[in-house]
Each structure stands twice: as C-alpha cells, then as structure tokens.
Amino acid sequence: MTKLLEVNNLHTRFKVRNGYLYAVNGVSFTLDKGEMLGVVGESGCGKSVSMMSLIRLLPPAAQITQGEVLLEGKDLAKASASEINMVRGSKVGMIFQDPMTSLNPFMKIGAQLCEGIIYHKKMSRADAMKQAAKYLDLVGISNSEHRLHEYPHQLSGGMRQRVMIAMALLGEPELVIADEPTTALDVTIQAQIVELVKELREKLNMSIIWITHDLSLLAGMVDRIMVMYGGSVVEEAPLDEIYKSPRHPYTIGLLKSIPSIKTEAGSRLPSIAGAPPNLFVEPQSCPFAARCAYRKERCTKEIPPLEPVSGAGANPHHRIACWVDVTKEPAEPKEGGML
Amino acid sequence: MTDNTLELQQEEKQFSLAKDAFDRLIANKLAVIGMLLVVFLFFIAIFGPYITPYDFLSQDLQARNQAPSWAHWFGTDDLGRDIMSRVIYGARTAVIVAFSTTFLSLIIGIFMGSLGGYFGGKVDAFIVWLIDITMSVPSLLLVIVINVSMKPRLVNWMDEQFLLTGNSFYRNTILVDFVLVFGSLALIKWPKAARIIRGQIMSVRNKNYVLAAEAIGVPTPKIVWKYVIPNSIGPIIVYISAALGEAMVFESSFSFLGVGVRPPIPSWGNMISDGLRVWQLYPHILAAPAAVLALVTIAFSFLGDGLNDALNPRQWK
Ligand SMILES: Nc1ncnc2c1ncn2[C@@H]1O[C@H](COP(=O)(O)OP(=O)(O)OP(=O)(O)O)[C@@H](O)[C@H]1O
Ligand SMILES: [Mg+2]
C-alpha cells in the first residue's frame, strides 16, 4: 500500500488569557491510501483540534508550533494560505459533528454544495449542479434534483448529515476526516450513516479518519485505531489487536467501560477515576500518570515515546506510549487514581 | 439531458437570496400595506414641501379654525395655517429626525458592537456594562435633563459665537433643537443597535456553516458575502425598520412635551399638543396629525414584522 499522509510530531496550542492551552502535544501517525483509521479518546483530548490542524482549519487563537503534515509528500503545515485552500475540499474533505448547524440557512442545498467545486475545479454552475445531484444520489437522498433547490430547514437531520457527507465527497478528495459525524443523530440513522460511509469507501477508495469517543462504534468499521489522551497518541494498533490485547492502561480502562451483553444488569460500569489532565501547562511527563494504576516513578518524570510494543508475538504495527509493560506488572491502587 | 440543463439554468436565476426574501415580503399583505405607506411617507417628506398648496407658516387670520374643505383638506388651525401643509412638513421633520438618529445610533452601535464582538474579553465586558447602564436610564428623563442642562448653554455659546464672528449660522436656533433631538435620541438608541450587532458578529463568526464552507475551500470574500452577511443582516434590517418608526414616535413625544422640535417648525408632536388645547371645539386640528402619526407607526410595525418573517428562512413554508 502507498502512504497518503504522514504526520510528524504535531503541536498545536491556543492563546488563552494568561498563557497557552496545549491542545495537541506531539501527534505522529501515518495513513495509507484507502485505509480507515479510527481516533478515540475522551472529550477534550484533542481529537478535533489535531485533525483540524492537518488542514489548518483552526480559529485565529490557534497556532501550530511544531511538526509536519505530509500529504503526498507536501508539507501542509508550511503551505501558503492559497495552497491550503486548494487542498481543502479537493484533496481533504471534512464531515462535521453537527448536521443541524453545518449548513448555511440562507443558501439552497445545491448552491452550498457547489460553492467549493466551482472554485476548485473551475466548473460551470450547471455542471457543478449535475455533479452535486449525482453525489446526493450516491449518499442516498432520493429526488436529488428537487432537493438541490431546497433550503436546509426543509431537510431532516439525517438528510442534512447526508448532505454534509456529499459536500465532503463532492471534490473527490483522497482523504475524508469525519469528526463524530453521527453523535447528533438517533441510533438507527447512526447505523445507516456508518453503513453508508463503509459502502462509499469501497466504491470510491478513499482514506478515512473517523473521530469518535465511542470505541464500540469502530468495531467492524476501521482498519486501525489510534487512542488519544491529553493531546498525545497513547496507543495505536490494528482493530483486532486493540480489542484483543490492549497495552496502554488508558485503553484498558476505556475498553472496560464499554457495556457489553455480558455486563450484569444493574451493575455499575467501571470508570476511570480522576479528572482529565490540565492542558494549561506543557506536559513534562506521561499525561495519564496521575490517573494510572500502573504508575511508576519514571511516569511522572519523563514523557514516554510512542514505540512498537515489545514481547514475544507482538504485532509490529502495535505502538504504545507507556513506560510500563502491563502484561508483566500487576495493577495496584495508587493514590489519586485506580482502575 | 438538454431539458435537464435548461431546467437547472432556469432555476439558477432564483438563487438570489434577496429575490426570495422579497417574494416572501410581497406575499404578506400587511407588509405590503406597511411598505407602501412607508414609501409614500418618504416621498411626501422629500417632495411634500414643493407640492403643498400653502406655505406651512403663512397665516390667514381670516380663515382660522376652519373645518376641512376643498380649499383646506384637513382644515386650518387657530392661526389660519393650512393643516395639510403643516402635516406634510411635519413628515419631513419626522423623517429627518428618524433617519439621522437611526444613522447615528447605528454608527455608534456598529462601532461599539463590533468592538465587543471581535475582541471579546475585557473590552467586551466594558461595552456590555456601558450598554446596560445606558439602557437602564429612562429615556424621557434623559432627554429632559439634556435639554434643560445643555440647551441654554448651547444657545448662549452660539450667541457668543455670533457676536464674535458675525456668522449668521449661529443665529439658527432651530438647528439647536434638531441637534439636541438627534443627539439625545441617538444616545438612547445606540445600545440596542450595539447589542444586536455584537450578538450577530459573535454568533455568525463561530457558526459551523462558516467552518464547513472553509473546509471545502470557499474563498474568504465569498464566505463573507454569502455566509456571514446574509446571516447577520436580517436582524439589522429589522432593527432599522423598527428604529425608524420608534424614532418618529419619540420625536413626536418630545415635541409634544416641548423638549423636541419647537413651533413654528411643524412636528406632528407639537401639532398634537396644539390641537389638544382646543380639541373639544375644533377636533380636526388634533385629528389630522394624530391620525397620521398612528398610521405611520402601524405602517412601520407591519413592515418590520414582514421583514422579520421574510428574512428568516426558518419561517418560510
Ligand atoms: N477555540 C478554542 N480556544 C481555546 N481552546 C480550545 C479551542 N478549541 C478547543 N480548545 C481546547 O482544546 C482541547 C482539545 O479540544 P478538542 O476539540 O480537540 O477535543 P475533542 O477531543 O475533539 O473533544 P470532543 O470529543 O468533546 O469533541 C480542549 O481542551 C479544548 O478546551
Ligand atoms: Mg471534537
């Protein structure tokens, strides 16, 4: 497989009132053509900010301080504003979390869909509209010719999310970043959207980054999972590997907190004790250390690098950022955190 | 295939937001009535003084307090002046005051509102504080205080200037009336404009659809033109319409109370005040300006409601 994207040591911070909020602290990963990567982590761990940083879709207060984002070898972190604008929509498409507010209420669906490709592909409006109708069909919106001339409020939430997907796909991008595209929808529509994305991926052979905080949603969908905590990647492995043999204490906690059929009715789900890390100081040690049941002296002193796991029969694509080998060490209650 | 393209091209013409909104406005009967009345008012205010049958100041002591007739459609007042001519001139007073105060309050409002909306933080907190303070002062009280405290000083100062320079500009006390009315009204009204503009800028700037448009590479000028402006302009247009109507009512109330535009310059307010003294004997003197003021107020409120609905796509059927 050929490599599409390579992200190296990406850092993004926000200027806040008395200093900085360090939202992304050294994220590195790669993505092959046609591959689908799931990104999970608790709310506020930097999933959105790190992925938005790829195409520099950030508010003015944000600043990428370090790192490179190589898309087909070209560094987007250093590209000019107009170069980035050409990448957005034509090479990288983005699907947002909230379909209800992601469409301009003052523009008809067709006009909004077309705006990007008219500019990127120098298409005539009529051609662009035909293309838009084609993609509305593709995402399963019936009567697409007619829908093009409707306003967003005339569509249901599920339909709007499909429109958002069509909008991201319209420029025929090689990479689609889906930022929790189903959280605002009810469960049946959620399942439909997931099916739809899987289907489209087969059909169009795109690479997809799917952001979610729901690990169970990713089963059977993605090739690989990347777990984030406190602005860094803590674990990264092929899908089965993560479920079968999680190696980072945070991932282990995350998996334990997913309800399964075996969970006894009325019993409490285990949760990870402690609060998310303070992002107002730049991390100097493992961000999870304060909540970790396996914590050691070293964990509070040094940042663990993301490295392939060791041990017999270890999957070479399985990487963790942890000083401890959880297969050898027993978990024990620690002050300030336990599993 | 060709049919298809044709249809697409035809539909294209209807893409414009302004046209859609205008269609909705036209479909609303009350809004159309309001709009026609408002247009007529502006027309009268601009051209009225050239087409009035009489001069608004010319007295005819032979023809005092006359009931409406063919010669004087709205009758005459206690000095024999033609009431219709005075009502028409009053429209000019009302429109001048309404436009200047709305314009002034918008300027202050845009400045303050966008400052707060853009910079946020302490600047914003200060501006919100200022807005709250200003809004909590009863407007009538403020105008009276300004008039009582500033007017004599201003008039004195102008007299001095006249003596010093000999420039007859400083003899014009009508100007003082107008400036004080504009000034105090703008002072009362800017917080509302500021509040609306601040809110609009803050909310539209962070809207997801702006982000979504950026994500498909829509160029910034297009984003501003097609996403930010249409989404923020609605409430501002509605505000302007409401503010114009309101300013006319305010001007009339102040003139009625003698702290606004003063006789002999006709204002509906001071005409109503004149008419009120003799309404049992000559009700027509009161009726004409009162009816016109009522009509204009209703017209602006119809138009405002219509605009509000027309500019809000969520209310479209
Ligand atoms: N505009 C901003 N200004 C300041 N800080 C921000 C801004 N946007 C995000 N952050 C901070 O950056 C951190 C990461 O946010 P991010 O949106 O990436 O979280 P997330 O992992 O996507 O969470 P969620 O699952 O809730 O979407 C958070 O601590 C958040 O408070
Ligand atoms: Mg997010």
Report whether residue A43 contacts ligand 1, using a CB cutoff of 6 Å.
yes
pLDDT score at A9? 94
| A37 inside domain | yes
Give the amino acid at B27.
Answer: A
Query: Based on the domain organization, do A146 and A291 belong to the same domain?
Result: no
pLDDT at B17: 60
- Residue A280 covered by a domain: yes
Residue A17 to residue B314, Cβ atoms within 8 A: no
In chain B, residues with a C-beta closer than 8 Å to the C-beta of A164 are 212
A217: CATH = 3.40.50.300
pLDDT value for A215: 84
pLDDT at B9 over 50: no
Alpha helices for B257-282 (secondary structure H)? 268-277
Average pLDDT estimate for B253-279: 79
Q: Residue A17 has which token pair?
A: 């009132």
Same domain, residue pair A203 and A262: no
- pLDDT computed for residue B176 by the predictor: 75
What pLDDT score was predicted for residue B227? 83
Residue A261 has pLDDT above 70, yes or no: no
Residue B235 covered by a domain: yes
CB A125 within 8 A of CB B14: no
In a domain? residue B317: no
pLDDT at A339 over 70: no
Positive/negative CA dihedral, A11, A15, A18, A21 = negative
Assess if residue B146 is contained within a domain.
no
Q: Is residue A333 part of a domain?
A: no
Q: Residue B72: what pLDDT? A: 67
B307 pLDDT higher than 60: yes
The size of chain B, in residues, is: 317
Question: Lowest mean pLDDT: which of A161-175, A261-275, A314-328?
Answer: A261-275
What amino acid is encoded at A259 in this protein?
Answer: P
Nearest residue in B to A87, CA atom: B217
Predicted pLDDT at A29: 95
pLDDT at B6: 39
Does the pLDDT value for residue B314 go beyond 70?
A: no
Distance from CA of B258 to the nearest CA of A (A): 46
The answer to whether residue B80 is domain-embedded is yes
Q: What is the mean pLDDT of chain B?
A: 79
Query: What's the confidence (pLDDT) of residue A331?
Result: 66
User: Which residues on neighbouring strands pair with residue A37, listed in sequence order?
Assistant: A209, A224
Rounded average pLDDT over A14-39: 93
- Helices marked H in A180-234: 187-204, 215-218
A237 in reach of chain B (CB within 8 A): no
Q: pLDDT band for position B166 (50/70/90)?
A: confident
Give pLDDT tens digits for A34-66: 999 999 999 899 999 999 999 999 887 889 999
On whether residue A172 sits in a domain, the answer given is: yes
Query: Tens digit of pLDDT for each residue in A218-247?
Result: 888 899 999 999 999 999 999 999 988 899
Average pLDDT estimate for A152-161? 87
Residue B118 belongs to what domain range? 35-52+59-138+176-311
| A199 and A289 together in one domain | no
pLDDT > 70 in chain B, percent = 87
Supply the pLDDT for residue B316: 54
What is the extent of the structural domain holding A97? 3-222
- Higher pLDDT among residues A31 and B142, named by residue: A31
CA separation for the pair A231, A22 (Å, rounded)? 7
Mean pLDDT of B281-295: 82
User: Is residue B165, in this structure, part of any structural domain at all?
Assistant: no
Distance CA A89, CA A95 (A): 11
Q: What pLDDT shows up at residue B204? A: 80
Q: CA–CA separation, A183 vs A165, rounded Å?
A: 14
Please tell me the distance between residue A179's alpha carbon and the centre of ligand 2 in angstroms: 7
Q: What are phi and psi of B256, to 5 degrees?
A: -60, -40
Residue A183 counted as domain residue? yes
pLDDT-derived band at B137, boundaries 50, 70, 90: confident
Distance CA B135, CA B200 (A): 19
Tokens of A335: 């002050």
The more confident residue out of B132 and B150 is B132
Q: Give which of B123, B216, B229, B317 to mutate to test A binding, by max A Cβ within 10 Å.
A: B216
Token digits of residue B306: 């219509």
Pair (A52, A102) in one structural domain: yes
* Partner residue facing A171 (CB), from B8, B214, B216: B216
Per-residue pLDDT tens over the stretch A95-149: 988 878 889 988 899 999 998 888 888 888 899 999 999 989 888 888 888 999 9
Q: Are residues A45 and A96 in the same domain?
A: yes
A213 lines ligand 1 (CB under 6 A): yes
| Ligand 1 contacts CB of residue A96 (under 6 A) | no
**Does the pLDDT value for residue B1 go beyond 60?**
no
Q: What is the pLDDT of residues B89-100, one digit of tens each?
A: 888 888 888 888
Q: Please compute the mean of the pLDDT values over residues A184-188 and round it to a whole number.
A: 76
* Cα of A37 from ligand 1 centre, angstroms: 20
Q: Percent of chain A having pLDDT more than 90?
A: 42
Predicted local confidence at residue B4, as pLDDT = 44
**Interface contact flag, A98 B219, Cβ < 8 Å:** no
How far apart are the CA of B306 and the nearest CA of chain A, in angstroms? 17
pLDDT at A332: 66
Angstrom distance (rounded) from CA B202 to CA B118: 7
In chain A, which residue's Cα lies nearest the Cα of B203?
A101
Q: Cα distance from B212 to chain A (closest Cα, Å)?
A: 6
Q: Could you tell me if residue A302 is inside a domain?
A: yes
Inter-chain residue contact A108 with B8, CB threshold 8 Å: no
- On whether both A29 and A68 belong to a single domain, the answer is yes
pLDDT for the residue A338: 44
Please state, in angstroms and rounded to a whole number, the distance separating the CA atoms of residues A88 and A176. 10
Which protein residue has the closest C-alpha to ligand 1 atom 27? A43
pLDDT at B275: 76
Which residues in chain A are contacts of B121 at CB distance < 8 A?
17
Give the CA dihedral B41, B45, B50, B56, nearest 10 degrees: 100
A94 at B interface, C-beta within 8 A: yes
Mean pLDDT within B34-60: 80
Cα B191–chain centre separation: 15
pLDDT higher than 70, residue A262: no
pLDDT of residue B14 exceeding 50: no
Nearest-10 crossing angle of helices A187-204, A157-170: 20
Task: Kindly state whether residues A13 and A87 are assigned to the same domain.
Answer: yes
- Distance (Å, rounded) from C-alpha A11 to C-alpha A47? 12
Structure tokens at B285: 């003197």
CA-derived radius of gyration, chain B: 24
Q: State the nearest Cα–Cα gap between A181 and chain B, in angstroms.
A: 13
Q: Please tell me the total count of domains within chain B.
A: 1
What's the pLDDT score for residue A334? 58
Give domain status of residue A339, yes or no: no
Residues A73 and A127 in one domain: yes
Structural domains of chain A, count: 2
Nearest residue of B to residue A103 by CA position? B209
B118 pLDDT above the threshold of 80 = no
Q: Region A166-179: what's the mean pLDDT?
A: 91
CATH code at B227? 1.10.3720.10
Please give the average per-residue pLDDT across A160-184, as a whole number: 88
Q: What is the pLDDT of residue B182?
A: 75
What pLDDT digit, counting tens, does each position of B67-89 carry? 677 766 777 777 767 778 888 88
Residues A13 and A139 occupy one common structural domain: yes
Rounded to the nearest angstrom, the distance between the alpha carbon of A49 and the centre of ligand 1 is 6
Task: Measure the CA–CA gap between B109 and B64, rounded to whole angstroms.
Answer: 46
Please identify, by atom number, the ligand 1 atom nearest to the C-alpha of residue A180.
Answer: 27
Question: Residue B173 in contact with residue B159, Cβ under 8 Å?
Answer: no
pLDDT band with cut points at 50, 70 and 90 for residue A27: very high
Same domain assignment for residues A30 and A127: yes
Assess if residue A234 is contained within a domain. no
Q: DSSP string spanning A102-153? A: SS-TTS-HHHHHHHHHHHHS---HHHHHHHHHHHHHHTT-SSHHHHTTS-GG
Distance B11 CA to ligand 1 centre (A): 41
